[in-house]
Amino acid sequence: MRYKLRDLINAGGPTLNSVTLRYNTYMDCIFILLYCGSFVLLAQAFSGIRLFPGIATFLVIVAGVFDYAENYRMLHELSSGLEGLSDSYVKITATVSMVKWLALALVLCLLAVIFYKVSRRGADHSRILKIIGFLFVLSALGIVAGVFRTTLIRWWTLPFSFAFLLSLFLFRPLAHKPVS
């Protein structure tokens, strides 16, 4: 696993790639705050649903904490130049990443349940809520597949992007009235 990281850094020049990876990791730290906030708002958007929003919020925080831990470890790996970096250190980083991704997959599944429950109550736009929930489940399945086969991880973003766009339609910030 250490050699894959070394190959990634050395492809196209180790100095440039190391700087780029470090920059992307710092940018990810900002993104973590944005996605955690967005998921918490989505989980708490509907009133009258017990348990699921709280669990989803907790899991979002878990994903965010593990994402920060992954970034910290990656920055340490990059600053060490990979010299003397043990395989166990890299494996721990990979495990931290896996926990983050699985927590995020669970969040998406819980959001799907929340949206489905609200759609069953006869809420406005119930069909859109069901579609968003279905897209969240597809995204979660993409994450789980990607955890076990890393080349598949990027595919979770496709259904998630559609779900996000539909959510923007549903929760127009200026015209939004609380959905109960």
Which SS3 state, helix, strand or coil, does residue 179 take? strand
Q: Of 159, 157, 103, 99, nearest to 133 (Cα)?
A: 159
Q: Which residues pair with 179 in a beta bridge?
A: 46
Answer whether 0.75 is exceeded by the pTM. yes
Structure confidence by residue, pLDDT tens digits, 131-140: 999 999 999 9
Residue 179 domain flag? no
Is the residue at 118 inside a domain?
Answer: yes
Q: Is there a domain that residue 180 lies in?
A: no
State which residues form the domain around 66.
Answer: 2-170
Nearest to 159 by CA among 117, 123, 113, 108: 108
pLDDT tens digits, one per residue of 15-56: 656 778 888 999 999 999 999 999 998 888 876 778 899 999
As a whole number, the mean pLDDT across the chain is 84
Residue 46 pairs with which residues in a beta bridge? Answer: 179
Would you say residue 7 has pLDDT above 80?
no
Per-residue tokens: 130? 């069901």
CA quadruple 18, 32, 171, 53: dihedral positive or negative? Answer: positive
The structure tokens 């970034």 sit at: 71
Count the neighbouring beta carbons within 10 Å of the beta carbon of residue 42. 25
Query: Residue 68 in contact with residue 103, Cβ under 8 Å?
Result: no
Residue 175 lies in a domain: no
In order of 17, 39, 58, 59, the CA distances from 110 in angstroms are 37, 11, 11, 10
Query: How many structural domains are present in the chain?
Result: 1
Residue 157: inside a domain: yes
> Would you say residue 176 lies in a domain?
no
Q: Which residue has the tokens 């968003």?
A: 132
Is pLDDT of 81 > 80?
A: no
